[in-house]
């Protein structure tokens, strides 16, 4: 399923010539009142800021849930992670992956691209199956329950 939304297989992930790249992947729930228009604002300002910091990635928003893939230099990504944790426009942040390795970027041309949300449930279900931290498991269950209680048709429209 990862391949369907543009995640590569393992082949490119161990490139000795590539610089070390810090990667943070998480999901969260949008705060009340955060709608399509607000997400548009978030993306617009993220693109400007990320361009200046060498950060690229993908943001998915659907049914009140965010999923974001962030990659870039370690110091800049870590600073962004701190900002994200202090941003009241979302909560229940669950870290799905946090790592640093020598590899090419997955999204070298996307300063922060908003993509369709139709795959978000499957991505979260996969994360739940491999999650070990009990707080992550609990937050992922809350997110999935939230998705299950809403109408799935709205996922594609975000
Ligand atoms: C779901 C979501 C995704 C965000 N993505 C980014 C991003 O990719 N880049 C960015 O600079 N800010 C992003 N922001 C905004 C940051 O949380 C923060 O407001 C911004 O970086 C300014 O941080 P500062 O006030 O600590 O300087 C995002 C916010 C939300 C709610």
Please choose from 23, 66, 87 the residue to mutate so as to test ligand 1's pocket, defined by most ligand atoms within 8 A of CB. Answer: 87
List, chain by chain if needed, residues with CB within 6 Å of any ligand 1 atom.
42, 46, 49-50, 59, 66, 68, 80, 83-84, 87, 89-90, 112
Tell me, in angstroms, the distance from the centre of ligand 1 to residue 112's CA.
11
Structural domains of the chain sorted by starting position, each given as residue range(s) with its CATH number in brackets: 3-150 (3.30.70.100)
Express each pLDDT in 47-73 by its tens digit: 999 999 999 999 999 889 999 999 999
Nearest atom in ligand 1 to the alpha carbon of residue 57 is: 8
Express each pLDDT in 93-132 by its tens digit: 999 889 898 888 888 888 998 877 777 777 778 778 877 8
Express each pLDDT in 1-45 by its tens digit: 444 444 444 444 455 677 889 999 999 999 999 999 999 999 999
Express each pLDDT in 37-54 by its tens digit: 999 999 999 999 999 999
Long-range contacts of 51-54 (CB under 8 A, 24+ apart): 51/111, 53/79, 53/80
């Amino acid at each position: 399923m990862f391949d369907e939304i543009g995640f590569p297989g393992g082949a490119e992930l161990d490139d000795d010539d590539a610089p070390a790249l810090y990667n943070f992947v998480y999901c969260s729930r949008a705060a009340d009142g955060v709608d399509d228009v607000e997400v548009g604002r978030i993306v617009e300002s993220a693109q400007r800021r990320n361009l200046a910091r060498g950060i690229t990635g993908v943001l998915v928003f659907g049914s009140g849930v965010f999923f974001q893939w962030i990659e870039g230099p370690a110091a800049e990504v870590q600073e962004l992670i701190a900002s994200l944790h202090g941003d009241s426009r979302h909560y229940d942040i669950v870290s799905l992956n946090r790592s640093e390795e020598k590899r090419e970027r997955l999204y070298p041309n996307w300063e922060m691209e908003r993509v369709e949300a139709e795959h978000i449930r499957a991505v979260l279900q996969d994360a739940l199956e491999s999650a070990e931290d009990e707080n992550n498991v609990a937050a992922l269950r809350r997110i999935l329950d939230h998705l299950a209680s809403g109408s799935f048709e709205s996922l594609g429209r975000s």
